[in-house]
């Protein structure tokens, strides 16, 4: 995980917005009026506006200064989906941040009360499988008058894994020698519930005892006896149809998704990796990772 970044004067840049430049033009006009009519109060108004303009720099800077930004969790996605990056923003100071914005591709607004924090999930569209970096996250603000744009470009090492895009073709699982049961057969009905166990990462979401969770008793997974599916498929790289590696991986990905959904034990054979048949979210993730990183 990345270290937290504190927004200091070294990280915050500030420039007038288009409106800021327009206001400069307004000041020139007012100064001209004051000069031509030799009118001291117009001078005073002009200088007041100029001072407000100038002081706004400090206020805009202040709306970002001191924020602590930290990259949080990421979720793996399939190629073509938007990858979400969690960004934690913490306001350690006593001043409120009435309007800050954060942007990866699309700006999102947030406010921060004193000593509070928020988590913004930023989405960026993925194209290719493999590791996808978050890129440059920009935290910016034009508060209070919209005359200045203060921004801080932040680079995080945060990455998310992008799985291949599942093929849209629904093809039957390849015949495998070790498959000894009907494809797609569900064995759910024969499972016998025998107890609860504390939830561990990797347990299927379907097995979480939601009722207990709703009562605030924590996360528990339901355990089934005899839940071993007798159906088993071997998803072989060579069996996948496609012109190139990507298409084949796409097809394999589709099979993995289908098999997991159908609760069939599946094994994956890739040119470099061989994963023995299994099922469950841990295995599922392992297979997809292998596909993503091939």
- Sites of contact with another protein (CB under 8 A): 19, 22-23, 26, 29-30, 33-52, 54-56, 58-59, 61-62, 65-66, 86, 88, 92-95, 98-99, 109-111, 113-119, 142-147
Q: How far is the CB of 119 from another protein (least distance, A)?
A: 4
Nearer to another protein, 137 or 147 (CB): 147
Q: 114 and 98 in contact (C-beta within 8 Å)?
A: no
Q: How far is the CB of 272 from another protein (least distance, A)?
A: 38
Distance between CA 227 and CA 250 in Å, rounded? 29
Beta bridge partners of 102: 108, 139
Q: What is the CA radius of gyration of the chain?
A: 28
Nearer to another protein, 7 or 233 (CB): 7
Q: How far is the CB of 117 from another protein (least distance, A)?
A: 6
Nearer to another protein, 102 or 252 (CB): 102
Distance between CA 239 and CA 251 in Å, rounded? 10
Distance between CA 257 and CA 237 in Å, rounded? 15
- Classify residue 203 by its DSSP letter: S
Q: How far is the CB of 16 from another protein (least distance, A)?
A: 13
Nearer to another protein, 202 or 218 (CB): 218
Nearer to another protein, 1 or 169 (CB): 1
Q: How far is the CB of 73 from another protein (least distance, A)?
A: 10
Distance between CA 267 and CA 205 in Å, rounded? 21
Residue reference for tokens 């935290």: 139
**Secondary structure percentages of the chain, helix, strand, coil, to 5:** 30, 35, 35
């Amino acid at each position: 995980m990345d270290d937290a970044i504190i927004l200091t004067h070294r990280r915050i840049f500030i420039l007038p917005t288009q409106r800021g430049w327009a206001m400069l033009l307004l000041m020139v006009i007012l100064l001209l009026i004051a000069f031509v009519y030799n009118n001291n109060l117009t001078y005073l108004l002009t200088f007041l506006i100029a001072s407000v303009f100038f002081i706004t720099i400090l206020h805009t800077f202040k709306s970002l200064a001191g924020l602590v930004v930290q990259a949080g969790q990421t979720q793996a996605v399939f190629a073509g989906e938007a990858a979400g990056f969690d960004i934690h923003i913490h306001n350690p100071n006593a001043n409120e941040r009435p309007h800050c914005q954060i942007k990866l591709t699309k700006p999102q607004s947030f406010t921060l009360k004193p000593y509070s924090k928020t988590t913004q999930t930023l989405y960026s569209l993925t194209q290719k499988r493999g590791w996808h970096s978050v890129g440059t996250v920009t935290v910016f603000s034009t508060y209070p008058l919209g005359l200045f744009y203060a921004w801080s470009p932040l680079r995080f090492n945060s990455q998310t894994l992008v799985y291949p895009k599942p093929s849209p073709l629904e093809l039957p699982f390849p015949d495998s020698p070790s498959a000894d049961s009907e494809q797609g057969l569900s064995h759910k009905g024969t499972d016998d519930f025998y107890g609860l166990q504390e939830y561990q990462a990797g347990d299927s979401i379907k097995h979480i005892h939601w009722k207990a969770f709703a009562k605030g008793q924590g996360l528990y997974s339901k355990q089934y006896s005899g839940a071993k599916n007798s159906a088993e498929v071997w998803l072989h790289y060579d069996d996948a149809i496609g012109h190139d590696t990507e298409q084949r991986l796409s097809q394999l990905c589709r099979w993995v998704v289908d098999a997991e959904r159908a609760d069939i034990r599946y094994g994956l054979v890739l040119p470099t990796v061989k994963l023995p048949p299994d099922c469950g979210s841990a295995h599922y993730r392992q297979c997809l990772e292998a596909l993503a990183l091939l």
